[in-house]
Chains A and B, each alone.
Chain A
Amino acid sequence: MQRRLQNINYLDFVLWFIRVSIIVFVAWGTIATLLDNPYSADVWVNFTVLGLAQGSMYALIAIGYTLVYGVLFMINFAHGEFFMSGIMTATVFIAGPLSASGYLNNHPVISLLLILVVSMITSVGVAILTERVAYRPLRKAPRLVPLITALGASTFLQYTFRGLFGSEVKPFPQVEALSGKISFLGTEILQTQMVVIIATVIMLVGLYLFVMRTKTGKAIRAVAEDKDVAALMGIDVDRTIAITFALGASMAGAAGVLYALVFRQVHFYMGFLPGLKAFTAAVLGGIGSIPGAAVGGLFLGIFESVGPPLFLDGLNVPAYHQLKDVITFTLLVLVLIFRPQGIVGERLAEKKA
């Protein structure tokens, strides 16, 4: 005991002080809000559902970060642009014309499937191309090099799509079949949000089964474990890595469609911030873990939506919604302090860390 106390140095003390003060602050804000009780129960349910819908999109995008990190230990910052490229293309070439001709509202299911397929294929195409051109030649380079390349690829893709489709915000048509509200737990929520949440669950379960149950999935896991040994076992490592990129990008392409259904506008710059948030979600959940990405995404979405009113309303902070990023990144810091491996992440083996 005596020795342990001696080992506590100044830095530890400061860190503990920060942790405790954050927790006290959060608790104080929460209690103040609950005592003040500014919102009724159905408003809170609403906040939660809004957060779930937003978090679902983060989760789908975060899958891409986690998969690529799993096999390459590289943060693919161009992933947000894979998300943008698919839905931009699908909006310009499919959704716009279908809506103008009236086909979209007469045959919503076929139209949406078509939009989904085009978006996913474009995202996958862009991802495979980026991997081949920008990442594969650098496979043996130090880990910082592909990271910088990824940032470059991200900017390159953004401005390529700006050049192709223009700099203005493009509207995504309202799908009438999904425009109503349904009642849920005593409040009304938008049908699109329900669609987003259900579709996300289906896709995440599908992806999990794919990685865990199929031969290709096994190959991905093997490459993630050890590339050299996987190659010795007859696994084509380059091909497996390309498939991993494609898988992540297909999820991003699907997330793009869900995004467009909810927010109904797309833009060449739309991938940047969701990409950053999804990266945060991946780290929050435990990067490299698929359930981690899902949990991290939902966690982040709910905190963004519920956090500001819950923690800050009672403290009379003006315009507290502006501080939602402060709250989410504080959450990230807290999680990383207490659980560096993320919420559900496993402790990384020495070799990987």
Chain B
Amino acid sequence: MKKMLFILSVLVVASMVLAACGPSGPAECADELGCAEYGPDDPIRIASALVITGPDAQLGLDSQHGVEIAIAMRGDVAGHSVELQAEDDGCNAEGGQAAGQKIVSDPSIVAVVGTSCSGAGVPMSKVISEAGYVMVSPSNTAPSLTDPAQAFNPGYLRTAHNDKVQGAAMAKFAYEVLGLKTAAAIHDGDPYTEGLANAFRESFEGMGGKVVAFTAVSKGDTDMKPVLTAVAASEGGAPEFLFFPVFTAECAFLAKQTKEVSGLENTIAAAADGCFSAAAAEAIGEAGNGMYFSGPDLSFSGDTYVTFKQQYNTLFGSDPISVFHAHAFDATNMIFDCIESVGVTGADGSLSVGRAAMRTCLYATSGFQGITGTLTCNQYGDCADPKISVSILENSEYKRIWP
């Protein structure tokens, strides 16, 4: 009996030693937040959580196309193919929460590209952060998401600009370039629109302008005339400049109805990147002539963008349909770079990617050469190389005019 035990224990110890240094075992995980593990033939799985249904679907589909092109152009990552699980953020808090829960219940997902809308990003970044995952948003621009005093959660990063930059750019354009002294802003209660409208107000007032009305509509509203009538009748007089950084449907209603409200006939209307797409230009139609739009500067140069656009046309049959495809492409490639640098490949070809290591790697991204510029992340996840431009809409064509 004693002899048998001895032999057994020798065998156990021997097999453990063999497993530790032998050439056949899978990669070990020593990460404090756990690892995403893939067998030798398994694809690496990433998720996207973008708005792909509902009225703002164009915005999210465009970004999703960016992710798909990044996967197609990259080929294998760390010796594995890549599989995308596409979720819908619904462009609202409930959708972000649901998509987040679904993603963190799947241990094979290593990282998330999302969300499209800041409103969905707030709850989702909490879910993702608590589960130890990591997300990179291509289009959340609300200042609160990377503000540790507000909605920042570790594990959240973004390649989109912070709206403090965009709001200030629009205010500067209105006050200095157009020379207008009174303005009004309308948002729809979404963190993105409210944050941007607030950033605009602060900058415009900081430069010496007067914001005569600062109000809001609701998502899904169609009749904006009561709000606009109230804005036209505000105490400081009808504004010379009206900024409504809302999404396509509401933006088009506001653009059309502004011209119909007494007192606002000569007011210059402006919107932002949530309403900056070919589809939005078509929806607004002739009412948009002379309207201004701020957004990320899309005059990208470089060979990657040329190839990207060709791929977009081949795979999806059109030019990019909204503005954040390149940001999604860069976000995906940042994730791939980090998988390659922190992933541990076992001798059998299996791959283990530590989640804490993934986070550290992404926050340490520095000098990353993407389509949208040279990206360097700060400790709160702002990675963008923000370039904001203002375009004017003429006959359903956007013309970049400033800077």
Contact = CB atoms under 8 A, between A and B. Distances in A.
Interface of A: 38-40, 43, 46-47, 50-51, 54, 167-171, 173-174, 181, 187-188, 190, 259, 262-265, 267, 269-270, 272-274, 304-305, 308-309, 318-322, 324-325
Contact of B249 (A43, A267, A305): A267
Contact of A321 (B215, B252, B286): B215
Contact of A50 (B226, B252, B280): B226
A276 B278 CA distance: 30
Given A174-B285, A188-B262, A54 B223 contact: yes
B229 A265 contact: no
Contact of A265 (B215, B223, B252): B252
A169 B223 contact: no
Interface string B342-372: 0000000000000000000000000000000
Given A168-B283, A273-B220, A305-B223, A322 B189 contact: yes
The listed residue with most A CB atoms (<10 A of its CB), out of B187, B215, B223, B252, is B223
Interface string B232-271: 0101000000000000110011001100101000000000
A67 B216 CA distance: 36
14 contacts: A38-B233, A46-B262, A169-B248, A171-B284, A171-B285, A181-B262, A263-B253, A265-B252, A269-B55, A270-B222, A319-B189, A319-B215, A321-B226, A325-B218
A173 B218 CA distance: 25
B279 interface: yes
Contacts of A264: 256, 285, 287
B279 A263 contact: no
A251 to B, nearest CB: 18
B180 interface: no
Nearest to B253: A263
Contacts of A273: 220, 222
B230 interface: yes
Contacts of B187: 319
Interface string B263-297: 00000000000000001101111110000000000
A319 B201 CA distance: 14
B103 to A, nearest CB: 23
B181 interface: no
A309 B214 CA distance: 14
Given A269-B54, A273-B220, A305-B223, A169 B252 contact: yes
A320 B214 CA distance: 11
A168 B286 contact: no
B283 A43 contact: no
B212 interface: no
Given A169-B279, A171-B284, A174-B286, A322 B217 contact: yes
A267 to B, nearest CB: 6
B230 A309 contact: yes
Contacts of A167: 53, 55, 57-58, 61
The 10 A-B pairs with the shortest beta carbon distances in the complex, nearest first, are A319-B216, A169-B283, A168-B279, A171-B285, A167-B57, A321-B227, A322-B216, A305-B226, A319-B215, A273-B220
Contacts of A170: 282-283
Contacts of A269: 54-55
Contacts of B172: none
A171 B282 contact: yes
Interface in B148-199: 187-189
A136 to B, nearest CB: 30
Given A39-B233, A168-B283, A169-B55, A263 B215 contact: no
B57 A43 contact: no
A265 B256 contact: yes
A71 B225 CA distance: 37
B256 A43 contact: no
B226 A190 contact: no
A164 to B, nearest CB: 15
Given A43-B229, A321-B226, 15 more contacts: A46-B225, A50-B223, A167-B57, A169-B249, A171-B285, A181-B262, A263-B256, A265-B249, A265-B253, A267-B55, A269-B54, A319-B189, A321-B217, A322-B218, A325-B218
Nearest to A47: B226
Interface in B205-221: 214-218, 220
Interface string B44-55: 000000000111
B226 A263 contact: no
Contacts of B226: 47, 50-51, 304-305, 308-309, 321, 324
Nearest to B251: A169
Contacts of B188: 322
Nearest to B249: A169
The listed residue with most B CB atoms (<10 A of its CB), out of A262, A272, A304, A318, is A262
Nearest to B52: A167
Contacts of B55: 167, 169, 267, 269
B223 A321 contact: no
The listed residue with most B CB atoms (<10 A of its CB), out of A169, A259, A269, A320, is A169
B53 to A, nearest CB: 8
Nearest to A301: B223
The listed residue with most B CB atoms (<10 A of its CB), out of A43, A272, A321, is A321
Interface in B22-69: 53-55, 57-58, 61
Contacts of B189: 319, 322
Contacts of B218: 321-322, 324-325
B233 A43 contact: yes
Contacts of A43: 229-230, 233
B190 to A, nearest CB: 11
A50 B54 contact: no
A264 B54 CA distance: 19
Contacts of A168: 58, 248, 279, 282-283
The listed residue with most B CB atoms (<10 A of its CB), out of A264, A318, A320, is A264
A47 B229 contact: yes
A269 to B, nearest CB: 5
A232 B189 CA distance: 57
Nearest to A53: B223
The listed residue with most B CB atoms (<10 A of its CB), out of A46, A51, A168, A174, is A168
Contacts of A188: 262
B118 to A, nearest CB: 17
B216 A40 contact: no
Contacts of A47: 226, 229
Nearest to A54: B223
Contacts of B235: 38
Contacts of A265: 249, 252-253, 256, 283, 285
Nearest to B226: A305
B225 A321 contact: no
A181 B225 CA distance: 14
A181 B264 CA distance: 14
A330 to B, nearest CB: 15
